[in-house]
Amino acid sequence: MSLFDHQIIPLPLADNNQQSELVFWPNWLSKQQADSFLETSIQSIPWRHDHIKMFGKQVPVPRLQNWFADHSNTSYTYSGICMQAVKFPQWMAELADSVAEQTNYPFNRALVNYYRNGNDSVDWHADDEPELGEDPIIASISLGVERVFQLRHNSTGEVVSLPLPHGSLLLMGSRIQHFYQHRLAKVKNMQQERVNFTFRYMNNNLDKSSYQ
């Protein structure tokens, strides 16, 4: 795991020249480590294939997913989907600890998404649940095929695009969730797989996280 090879990408926030930043480690994991975590994730995670209600119909979520935590007494709810937490397996707990050591932020929750091909995606949203605190800090590990991650400023509409390669680590810094939404768009004719971990922190006295 690389401790020094990183990039800092400034992001403007409000009109008074306030800014935050993305911190990006494009080669945080070695290829061998990333390959191993990708295979372990695909084979061992109990993937959920959930549905959401849109226009009166049940529509499949365009990806597989699950919610993990340092204990099982927590859940994550968005768009009517409630996921009871799966306790971190040892390998995922160690990965969360490594991310915390690298970024200097604690993490005790993870939403893990499995994009089976380019038809799988996630639309514009922010990770701004009240249970994550006033200023959520999100760390994201990408495994598998490189996909383009996009952030869009809520007021200006400015879009920042960042390709996320196999084994990369991205930290979304202070106040980004308040001023930006982000997404992973569909990609035509892409058959390769991708797994993404988004690590978050929640107070363990809270037993539910809600995202609408």
pLDDT in tens, 11-23: 999 866 789 999 9
DSSP annotation of 20: E
Beta strand extents in the chain (DSSP E only): 7-12, 19-25, 51-54, 57-60, 64-69, 75-78, 81-84, 86-87, 109-115, 122-125, 138-144, 147-153, 159-164, 168-172, 180-184, 194-200, 208-211
pLDDT tens, 120-143?
999 999 998 887 888 999 999 999
What average pLDDT score do residues 60-86 get?
90
**Region for residue 144 given its phi and psi (left: phi exceeds 0; alpha: psi -120 to 50; beta: otherwise):** left
Is pLDDT larger for residue 90 or for residue 131? 90
Quick check: 86 and 46 in contact, CB under 8 A? yes
Q: How many CB atoms lie within 10 A of CB 23?
A: 16
| Total number of residues shown for the chain | 212
pLDDT given for residue 211 in this prediction: 38
Q: Which two tokens stand for residue 165?
A: 């390669």
Contact in structure between 152 and 162 (CB atoms under 8 Å):
no
Residue ranges of domains in the chain, CATH in brackets: 21-43+62-195 (2.60.120.590)
pLDDT (average), residues 78-97: 92
User: Which tokens go with 153?
Assistant: 């400023």
Q: Which residues contact 81 (CB under 8 A, 6 or more apart)?
A: 50, 51, 52, 61
For the ranges 46-55, 61-70, 136-145, which has the lowest average pLDDT?
46-55
Rounded to an integer, what distance in angstroms lies between the CA atom of residue 99 and that of residue 140? 9
Q: What is the mean pLDDT of the chain?
A: 92
